[in-house]
A and B are shown apart, each in its own frame.
Chain A
């Protein structure tokens, strides 16, 4: 492989080969989409966020007014921001910890491991579908199956949907339940950790915890990093469960930003204002992603550094 690459380099020092021109043709659909469906909407949305754009009304420049309203007078936004941050802080770490713990547990040579992995993955199939949101709504009713089970052990009844203390957490449980896809990723990463490393550390007398901290974690850190970013982006935009199960209530405790964005934009048709909400979501994603990237040099370990 290396040889052919070198050989080609010698023949064609700097210039791009004629054969390669055709690449633009292959990329044409994607490039068209990039301009029309990504860059153009991205810029428009930024512009809208400084206007009073309404679907059937006009569009006037209002400067920072939308953002000022969000951060000063709009009390819904305050609850919304809080709900979104809590949702992300509850779901992402718990989901990933569950995924990693169970992946470690399943990472052994036992019979039927494939079947088990398959079964554990099933909840992840349903993602943000309405069907499982409806199921959750029913199971956690005041006289639903969960409360009935709890009453057998003398707990409750808990108003999972009626009490602002519990509603958001109960919605989080739906997301955490779907840890299977992260688990499968972690399992694949764990399988790739060279056994030699463990054997060597055993000779040095390393215990289980030492092996986990000094070998397992660094070795699978790139996958943890990637999953962490993707899951956070997803959690910050959550919509379906809040919309179908609680409609943002009780007392706006589950009124996440994704839902506020939908309400403002598509129920009240305040497109300009909704755009400013979407930019708050985007800003949060940028901040989290940048922080993670900045911190990654300290904890993410790449074997082929600099390649």
Chain B
């Protein structure tokens, strides 16, 4: 009897700990949401979580942006940047992963080692020459500096992740397709791709998330308000006013993180599996 009671007590304590840590972790985001309804006076020097009233004025004012363009425009830009970049990355990385994992060719080991080593090559080192290159190509202030690295599978991470997944798809499947006369490309499209769906989904989610959150590259390569993304616009909203209206800023910040949260709740299985199977950074 006593033992059972002890075990129950231990379980309850564990739950309490878990809930407590969870509450601390999520508190900033919850606080951000409610702060979006507050005035500066309500935010300063107060620990109250809930606002006095729920008006949408902060959201309306925030959405208008501080300049010529609304956040609707910035959202549209962000998606025009992020979605093609993600799709290009998936296509190019799938081709590269397939090439590496399903073929034996001269120089494979060296190229594979190079691919892995690139995981550790920091963006900082490549940034300035890439900027020079893109300037020469007239790509500054366009989204090409995001699309082209996507098309050319420049992030080894996704190649590595997809290779790991390909390991788990039996070779017999494509071998028999090839014996039946399929070209390797048709085999990839018709036999392998359907099986790779979960991995592609995970990789796509991560590339979406990283490109969406990325600030440094957007700051460097985009310089006109017309092309601004949400990250750039948020920073602009913060700096363009002498007295910051925090409620308004929190409102647009919340709107900015909302797509990621929605995506996460819809597709969380792929997030968690993606990290677990390939060991992601981030």
Contacts and interface: CB of A to CB of B under 8 A. Distances in A.
Contacts of A132: 28, 253, 257
B209 A127 contact: yes
A45 B99 contact: no
B103 A110 contact: no
Main secondary structure of the interface of B (DSSP, over half): helix
Interface string B91-115: 0100110111011111010010011
A22 B103 contact: yes
B159 A30 contact: yes
Interface stretch (A34-42, A162-170, A199-207): A34-42
Nearest to B99: A26
A71 interface: no
A126 B175 CA distance: 42
Contacts of B11: 110
A20 to B, nearest CB: 4
A239 B154 CA distance: 21
B80 interface: no
The DSSP consensus for interface residues of chain A is helix
B18 interface: yes
A105 B17 CA distance: 10
A285 B122 contact: yes
Interface string B43-74: 11111000000000000000000000000000
Interface string B8-23: 0001001101100110
B213 A188 contact: no
A130 B213 CA distance: 7
A20 B103 contact: yes
Contacts of B118: 34, 38
B120 to A, nearest CB: 6
Interface in B19-40: 21-22, 25-26, 28-29, 31-32, 35
* Residue from A1, A17, A145, A236 whose CB has the most chain B CB atoms within 10 Å: A145
Given A27-B99, A37-B126, A125-B264, A184 B171 contact: no
A38 B120 CA distance: 12
Given A119-B26, A138-B246, A237 B129 contact: no
A116 interface: yes
Interface centre among A123, A187, A266 (most CB of B within 10 A): A266
Nearest to A257: B124
A116 B14 CA distance: 12
A132 B277 CA distance: 27
| Best-surrounded residue of A19, A30, A141 (most CB of chain B within 10 A) | A30
B257 A129 contact: yes
A234 B130 CA distance: 20
A72 to B, nearest CB: 22
Interface string B118-141: 111111111111111101000000
Contacts of A185: 275-276, 279-280
Given A127-B282, A138-B249, A121 B271 contact: yes
A117 interface: yes
A230 B281 contact: yes
The winner among A38, A124, A223 for most chain B CB atoms within 10 A is A38
Contacts of B92: 29-30, 33
A64 B138 CA distance: 32
A96 interface: no
A19 B175 CA distance: 12
Interface centre among B104, B210, B254, by most chain A C-beta atoms within 10 angstroms, is B104
Given A23-B103, A148-B46, A184 B125 contact: no
B272 interface: yes
B151 interface: yes
A22 B184 contact: yes
Contact of A122 (B102, B235, B261, B280): B261
B238 interface: yes
Given A16-B104, A48-B129, A265-B127, A134 B253 contact: yes
Contacts of A125: 209, 257, 260-261, 264
Given A26-B98, A129-B215, A185-B280, A134 B271 contact: no
28 contacts: A4-B172, A20-B103, A22-B184, A23-B103, A23-B105, A27-B111, A31-B111, A38-B154, A40-B133, A45-B128, A45-B129, A105-B14, A118-B264, A125-B260, A125-B261, A126-B213, A138-B35, A138-B43, A138-B250, A145-B43, A145-B46, A180-B25, A239-B216, A244-B215, A266-B131, A279-B125, A281-B125, A285-B120
Given A41-B129, A278-B122, 6 more contacts: A119-B22, A130-B235, A177-B28, A229-B120, A234-B281, A240-B216
Interface of A: 1, 4, 16-17, 19-27, 29-34, 36-38, 40-42, 44-45, 48, 55, 102, 105-106, 108, 110, 116-132, 134-136, 138-139, 141, 143-145, 148-149, 152, 177, 180-181, 184-185, 187-188, 223, 226-227, 229-231, 233-234, 236-237, 239-240, 243-244, 257-258, 261-262, 265-266, 271, 274-275, 278-279, 281-282, 285, 289
